Amino acid sequence: MCFAASSMCAAGTLEYFRQNGCNAATSAHNESSVLVYYQLPQNILLGLGELFAMIASFDFAYFCSPRSGHSLFMTLRFCALGLSSFISVAYISIFSGSSKFDFSVSILFV
């Protein structure tokens, strides 16, 4: 959770500098001079936080639960991941009409 919290601090700091770097007088689209590569540290920290949270949940599922509950805990973990994916797709589809970017998600069924 420390990695996730530090990722949010890095994202907030970057957003502060990005907003201060926007100059509407010289740019037609209110663009920022901050490079997209500055998002790399926050993404690395967020990935590490997710990795350690996933390892902790697997540890709980296999070592702290009874043997008959292993599959139940893993099923609940994967259901939570699937539900969060559905929520994110719904969130993107709701707000994609109010943005100039195309956030459409194309899913191919084979």
Q: pTM of the prediction? A: 0.58
Name the average pLDDT for the chain. 78
* Mean pLDDT of the region 62-84: 85
Where exactly are the structural domains of the chain?
A: 1-64, 67-110
Q: What are the pLDDT digits (tens) for 26-44? A: 656 666 777 788 888 888 9
Confidence of residue 83 (pLDDT cuts 50, 70, 90): very high
Are 33 and 20 in contact by the 8 Å Cβ rule? The answer is: no
User: Residue 110: is its pLDDT beyond 50?
Assistant: no
The percentage of the chain sitting over the pLDDT mark of 70, rounded to a whole number, equals 76
